[in-house]
Amino acid sequence: MMDESANLEGVRAAGGIEAERERYVRQFVNRFLSMEGVGVMLLDSDFHIVEVSDMIVSLCGLPRADIVSKHAELWFDEVGLKPHPFDRSLLEGRTFRSKVLNWKQDKQLHTLMIDGENLMEGETRTGAFVLFRDVSHRMALEEQVRRSDRLKTIGQIAAGTAHEIRNPLTAIKGFMQLLSKSLRDRDMEKEYDYVGIVLSELDRVNDLVSEFLLLSRPKELRQASMKVGGVLQEILPMIRNEALLHNVTVIYLPRPELPPILADKELLKQVFLNLGKNAIEAMDGGGTLIIRECGISEETNRITVEFKDTGPGIPSEALDKVFDPFFTTKPQGTGLGLSVCQRIVDDLGGSIEVASDGDGALFIVGLPCY
């Protein structure tokens, strides 16, 4: 008798623990389904969607009712996930892990990492689930680290070789100029033209070497207190000249009341010149470049200067590449201009950002107040 009632107690207690466990699991599932950084999609044995978590709903911007009961493959096609995550592996009962795909939504590119897994009862597949993790932020951080490593390496190479290249170049150029003069004196027109081409190509190499030299960290910054407007005023005539040649209007919106910044004037000029040059090159058929001094960002205590153009803008897949050394879309480009800008701005303790909304490109330079 005693034994039996003790047993009953045991069963009851076990039932209680079981119920409690179920409650915890349910709580966890509910919480999991509402998490922001992780998405989950539950599929039945025919790969129709049975349930999706909040993250998926907000990411694809469709009401839940429009997602549930759709075939997963169809849904992936509709929302334009690329590359398509359903290579047949899941359908054939295999799992897949850490597949990376990109999802563009509201002009923002998300990088998702997804895993797919089957739910099995013995040998039979009863369904499957797909886990989505938004790793855009982590990818951006990793890219930043990679970029600054790359810049460092290039800087070291540049420092070691650029001077060695430039010295012979100066000699070659000098002798070519002499040659050019005597060819002209002898009316050797064809040869004179050839030498002209050599000279202009030499100039290109020289420009490249100059950019290389700027990439190598300067020995010491010559920092001083200055007004950002003063620096812009000094380079505006150059930008205006260049703009005139390309039928571009330049609008400068100063803010003389802004406090001074701490910067190296020559290097900062280089940054603004590069941004101006890029904008003008982007608007070859004509357009408007607006250079605007903005207020101070309270968060960072930086003054910002914007370069906004009305050119074709930058496609979203290129946005995170434009600061990479050697990234260029121009036949004669070096792809070093923006790397140089970033390097300089980094050295000055500032920031440089890019945005493009299909209505031209916008570069924002932040510089620390003095």
Can you give the C-alpha Rg of the chain in angstroms? 31
Q: Does 39 bind ligand ADP (CB under 6 A)?
A: no
Q: Does position 350 bind Mg ion by CB under 5 A?
A: no
CB of 66 to Mg ion, least distance (A): 45
**CB under 5 A: which stretch of 154-162, 218-226, 336-344, 346-354 binds Mg ion?**
336-344
**Nearest partner of 44 among 124, 132, 134, judged by Cα:** 124
Q: Which stretch binds Mg ion (CB under 5 A): 201-209, 253-261, 271-279, 359-367?
A: 271-279
Q: Report whether 229 contacts 293 (CB < 8 A).
A: yes
Does 229 participate in binding Mg ion (rule CB under 5 A)?
Answer: no
Instruction: Give the SS3 label for residue 256.
Output: coil
**Choosing among ligand ADP, Mg ion, none, which partner's interface includes residue 282 (Cβ < 5 to 8 Å by kind)?**
ligand ADP
Report DSSP state, residue 218: P
Residues 249-288 that bind ligand ADP (CB under 6 A): 274, 278-279, 282
Q: How far apart are CA 258 and CA 226, in angstroms?
A: 11
Q: CB-wise, 144 or 301, nearer to ligand ADP?
A: 144
Residue from the set 218, 260, 335, 349 that interacts with ligand ADP by CB under 6 A: 335
Give the residues across from 79 on adjacent strands: none
Exactly one of 325, 337, 360, 366 binds Mg ion (CB under 5 A); which one?
337
Cβ atoms of residues 266 and 287 within 8 Å: no
Residue 323 Cβ vs ligand ADP, minimum distance, rounded to whole Å: 7
Place of tokens 């990818």: 139
C-beta separation of 305 from 311 below 8 A: no
Chain residue at closest Cβ approach to ligand ADP: 337
Residue number with the shortest CB distance to Mg ion? 337
In Å, how far are 164, 194, 203 from 182, measured between CA atoms?
Answer: 29, 13, 20
C-beta of 92: minimal distance to ligand ADP in Å? 42
Cis peptide before 83 (omega within 30 of 0): yes
Place of tokens 């009962």: 93
d(CA 279, CA 320): 17
Interface with ligand ADP, residue 114, by CB under 6 A: no
| Binding flag, residue 311, Mg ion (CB under 5 A) | no
> Where on the chain is the footprint of ligand ADP (CB under 6 A)?
274, 278-279, 282, 309, 311, 314, 322, 327-330, 333-339, 361
